[in-house]
Homo-oligomer: A and B are copies of this chain.
């Protein structure tokens, strides 16, 4: 019994060492013979040996926070030479008001506030003196009504996993945390519609749903810390977008508190609703600058009955692209992720996190995930696909997992790149959308341009969505290196009509570069919306949009 479980848990093949015919047989025979079992058992043991048991899978960025020392990060206002807008300063009278409104949930201790003033990447730092932890929408409404009257700036904060400096204050904005707004309001097992408060942690929601045979329609490396409200506010993409589409399609309703404290209740649970303009869309991806998302209604897919993950080694980027086209044709509706990473990424996760490369060293690696309702059908499709890409030399080595634990181990290689990068020193992060065939040219071009001035130039990302994560590391922040990268990287992207922010948003760091992806008329219109919804500009100031004078 234990043995048969092992058989299903992990399959591995090393076709370079096996005759092709045997390899094909191994892939095609799902309920295999004794010989087959022998092979799989051996391979399973091999994989077990390769991935040290002491290194557990870590998805939570919060855990990482505790591992990194809190070295002092330069104040954003100093590093970027920002002028404070003329907001009021928080007074003792203001603190008394907040304390009356939410007793015991007003944090003012400077040390306690530290992690909420600094971003996860340790690149930007504010100096807020107060953090509020509301539990209800009404409390947020009261806070904003008060702040609006008092002209106090507010920085909404979810899991603080933003990678563009959108979730921490630039100066002394009041931090409004959704951490205690973590209640599930309802879940309908017929329609698959979940309604919950904004502060629910993505991974917790997914675990809750899995028990009911559903999953969240999005999955991110930051899932252990990020809040669903933050996901919506930043229009998070992630690993499942290829299969389940963007939040613009899956989010069915929102409850939002506007800058003046009024509550906009569009928290419907309907798949279709064409009664007037779809206001919620304006708040999705607005990074807390137009309103604060307090509750979310979202359509959740059924938990797939069968999930398989292939981790493949690829000899070049053109093979990565051809494998993708083949994959879309042969795996069709069961394809749920197509990710890539270069060998430089692999070196980082091996070096810093002690993860093990389960295949032979290759210039590129691909993760192909399938999710379907029939394991036999899925494995047959996957087997045909793998057979094809191996025999046509698109892929040179690979390992296949269908067991949850092994799948997570393989995913860690891709998901923990961000974490490994932070161990290098300072990270210059770029999150670019480009036509797929152009994606890696930017990495090689940048590598050539920067030469030895950068420690590392690596590329990985959601190839299926045309989304490259270009990361450049250096021992520490250097203004001259930044100038060598920007605006060159944005000009390059703009030349191919790409987006300078595919999924991370603009936050604080990218707002001045919006013109590389949006025409002037569009930016002006956005500024008009901002002025209409938040006339005093108190919501997440210094973020997303350049102010008209900038």
Q: Which residue numbers of A lie inside 8 Å of B, CB to CB? A: 188, 190-191, 234-235, 237, 241, 245-246, 248-250, 262-266, 268-279, 281-282, 284-286, 290, 302, 304-305, 325, 328-334, 371-374, 377, 380-381, 433, 435-437, 462, 465-467, 497-506, 510, 514, 517-519, 521-523, 525-526, 528-529, 532, 544-545
Contacts and interface: CB of A to CB of B under 8 A. Distances in A.
A191 B466 contact: yes
What 8 A-B pairs come out closest when comparing CB atoms?
A332-B373, A249-B249, A281-B281, A273-B499, A272-B502, A275-B517, A377-B377, A245-B249
Contacts of A271: 241, 433, 465-467
Contacts of A500: 275
Contacts of A436: 190-191
Given A273-B433, A302-B328, A437-B190, A333 B268 contact: no
B272 A278 contact: no
Given A270-B466, A532-B532, A191 B435 contact: yes
Contacts of A328: 302
A330 to B, nearest CB: 7
Given A372-B332, A373-B381, A433 B270 contact: yes
B377 A380 contact: yes
12 contacts: A188-B435, A190-B436, A234-B274, A268-B497, A268-B499, A272-B503, A276-B518, A276-B523, A277-B526, A332-B372, A333-B334, A532-B532
A285 B279 contact: no
Given A333-B372, A499-B275, A282 B281 contact: yes
Contacts of A270: 433, 466, 497-499, 502
A279 B279 CA distance: 11
Contact of A276 (B249, B302, B506): B506
Nearest to A236: B274
A499 B274 contact: yes
Nearest to A521: B264
Contacts of A191: 435-436, 466
Contacts of A435: 188, 190-191, 269
A265 B519 CA distance: 7
A329 B303 CA distance: 10
Contacts of A282: 277-278, 281-282
A279 B277 CA distance: 12
A285 B290 contact: no
Given A246-B272, A274-B503, A525 B302 contact: no
Contact of A235 (B278, B522, B525, B526): B278
A403 B128 CA distance: 66
A420 B466 CA distance: 45
